Structure 1
Amino acid sequence: MNSADLPSCSNAVSFQSIFGPLNLDAEFPLAVGGDRHIFQHPNAPSLLVKVMDMKARARYLQARPFKRWYKQYQRESAYRVYLNEITEYVNTTTRPSGVWQVPLARILGVAQTSLGLGLLVEKITDDAGGIAPTVASLARQGRLDQALRARLDEFFEDLADAHVVLHDVSPSNIAYGRNADGKPGLYLIDGFGSLPLIPLYAWSRRLNRRRVRQKYAEMLASMERRAREAADRSA
């Protein structure tokens, strides 16, 4: 993180300004995912706060009785996703991989908010300081050119080299912008962490690399197909 963006933590008030409690009741989310809302941190420009959408989670579990049954015994409840992401972040950023900096949005910790426990993550920005566009939004704008494809090739190879386990390979989970240090590039902002009961891809770097490449190929093919369909409709 850029230390200039963070208040001094030399006293309790400054600490609370980062880690809460944070009042998000009157705030509008910058983005909405399948199960989380993403807010600007009210006191730190370089941070975002992810909070769980409990209504979306309830609807999801309502349609899955078995999953609803066994999840009632998980002490962390809906916040298990935070543990998965924090664990993956720690695992991939502490092992030598040949990747100088793993292309993940960095995780600071958790904070109490008025909407429940929030996950504090690095904000990837555009050149104006706003939230960076995702690869999905760039593709919809017709900007999936050869240069972006080359960057995506390198990005996914870096993820495989760092043995990052992905559970949702989606262009909506990849931001194209600058991290808190001002370094430009592609950054994974969601969809990482091992979910299966038998974590084969976490155990095997070789199997994970094969899966990352396969899922990337499927993602790229899907984006190109949608681009062709959009071009045909506008013709």
Structure 2
Amino acid sequence: AHRSQGIYRQFRRELLQYLQLCKTNFHEKNYTFPIETVHGFVGTDLGLGLVTEKIISPSGTPKTLSYLSSHDEFTAKHANALDQFFDECCQLHIVFGEVNIAGLMYTENRRGRPEFVLIDGIGEKLIIPFRSMSKTINTRNVRKVERKIKSKILFYK
């Protein structure tokens, strides 16, 4: 069934992850998580587009973790925000697909504090959804991704 969705498979993963988070956090009336907020779909000349929030840095331009690291702009403030990001992903049971250093955007105006937001690589990719089914297995994976990402940032060397 998933194969027939073609290029929209990733949309499906992201939507399912967002809906699961909304369901789990319904009582807190919380709809903002460390992943981009999905707003809907729009038809384009290239097919259906997923409309999500725009994540911008304090300078007003989008900045990825990769950019901050490679331009020597990554500081202790960013390190704290990155730690908080991974802790929150574990706590909220956010399932990663293929997360990398370019899929994390930095902002300070979204929730009024420095934070990283995952904009790419969201959602379960495994045929048997072990990470979705087990918070323990998922946390182990999130921490593995965290170590891999931090190993690529000069700040930690």
Report if aligned partners of 1:124, 1:178 keep a CA contact under 8 Å in 2. no
1:94 Cα offset (Å):
2.0
Aligned to 1:124: 55
Which stretch shows the higher mean deviation, 150-159 or 215-224?
Answer: 215-224
- Distance in 2 of aligned mates of 1:112 and 1:81: 16
Report if aligned partners of 2:104, 2:116 keep a CA contact under 8 Å in 1. yes
Aligned to 2:148: 218
- In structure 2, relative to structure 1, the CA distance for the partners of 1:94 and 1:164 (3 Å cut) is same
Verify: 1:206 aligned to 2:141, yes or no: no
1:129 Cα offset (Å):
3.8
4+ residue runs of structure 1 moved beyond 4 angstroms?
178-184
Secondary structure at the counterpart of residue 3 of structure 2: coil
Alignment length, in residue pairs?
A: 154
Unpaired stretches in structure 1, ≥5 consecutive residues: 1-70, 229-235
Report if aligned partners of 2:81, 2:114 keep a CA contact under 8 Å in 1. no
- Distance in 1 of aligned mates of 2:23 and 2:4: 27
TM-score (structure 2 length as normaliser): 0.85
Of 71, 74, 98, 1:168 maps to: 98
- Distance in 1 of aligned mates of 2:88 and 2:110: 20
Aligned to 2:5: 76
- Distance in 1 of aligned mates of 2:3 and 2:63: 35
TM-score (structure 1 length as normaliser): 0.59
- Distance in 1 of aligned mates of 2:109 and 2:123: 20
After the TM superposition, which residues 137-148 of structure 1 pair with which residues of structure 2 at under 5 Å, given as runs? Answer: 137-148=67-78
Q: Which amino acid aligns with 1:210?
A: R
Verify: 1:91 aligned to 2:91, yes or no: no
Q: Percent identity?
A: 27
Q: Which amino acid aligns with 1:107?
A: V
1:170 Cα offset (Å):
1.1
Q: Which has the larger radius of gyration?
A: 1
Aligned to 1:112: 43
Aligned to 2:33: 102
- In structure 2, relative to structure 1, the CA distance for the partners of 1:163 and 1:181 (3 Å cut) is closer
Which structure has more relative contact order (CA 8 Å, sep 6+)? It is 2
